[in-house]
Amino acid sequence: GAVVSQHPSWVICKSGTSVKIECRSLDFQATTMFWYRQFPKQSLMLMATSNEGSKATYEQGVEKDKFLINHASLTLSTLTVTSAHPEDSSFYICSARTGNTIYFGEGSWLTVV
Amino acid sequence: GQNIDQPTEMTATEGAIVQINCTYQTSGFNGLFWYQQHAGEAPTFLSYNVLDGLEEKGRFSSFLSRSKGYSYLLLKELQMKDSASYLCAVRERDYKLSFGAGTTVTVRA
């Protein structure tokens, strides 16, 4: 079974609204969680690195005010896409690190209409 | 930063062998991963190399040469279900993973 769970798997939202995606490590405490975005037929692009109790570190070109990341506990990180637009439609994937091992979540498809 | 290159597409027949090459340039190498990704799904872990040499795991093997910035994934006894995208990913010392664009492998009967 999955060791990193993402919710929701699919979400459709209206343009201008916000949507939250959760990433949970189910049976381990994640030192660090990472958020990726993948557009169709492209590779995974790292958006930000999230450490529990501290501010996320965003990659160059990723707007921190648009993609809010909260890492409230060692088992939960959330990504909120604020004021979503159709160009934000993508596959969002989180991963969680414990020691040297990285586990990926199942991914969340976001469609903004 | 890092620059990760792998072929875009490869086609092979069922039962054959395919080798997917990956070259990379990075400032702080801390391991190389291969993932398999089917369309619309998250990547699944295949292999991990941090030292030079060959790692074998069933039908899949992965090789690393750190001095050459080179790795390959070898898929043996290809099956139809192996049709997928294969992603080469380099991990840096801060544990960030950077992915190549992926190689789409098509297995034909």
Q: DSSP letter string over B82-102?
A: G-EEEEEEEEETT--EEE---
Cβ pair B1, B97 in contact under 8 A: no
CA angle B6–B9–B12, rounded 5-degree value: 120
Cβ–Cβ contact A92 with B under 8 A: no
CB of B90 closer than 8 Å to CB of B69: no
* CA geometry: angle B25, B22, B93, nearest 5 deg: 45
The CA distance from B29 to B96, in Å, is: 10
CA dihedral of residues A19, A85, A70, A3 (deg, nearest 10): 70
| Shortest Cα distance, chain B CAs vs residue A8, angstroms | 14
Per-residue pLDDT of chain A (113 residues; tens, 9 = 90+): 558 999 999 999 999 999 999 999 998 998 899 999 999 888 899 999 998 888 899 999 999 999 999 988 889 999 999 999 999 999 999 999 888 788 899 999 999 99
Judged by CB atoms closer than 8 Å, whether chains meet at A97 and B95 is answered as yes
How confident is the model at residue B1, as a pLDDT? Answer: 47
The string of pLDDT tens digits covering residues B3-21 is 899 999 999 999 999 999 9
- Give yes or no for A30 touching B (CB within 8 A): no
Give CA separation, B24 vs A16, B44, B64, B72, B92, in Å.
Answer: 39, 21, 11, 11, 12
CB within 8 Å: A46 and B100: no
By Cβ distance, the residue of B41, B87, B95 closest to A43 is: B87
pLDDT in tens, chain B (109 residues): 468 999 999 999 999 999 999 999 988 899 999 999 998 888 998 999 999 999 998 999 999 999 999 999 999 999 999 999 999 999 988 888 899 999 999 999 9
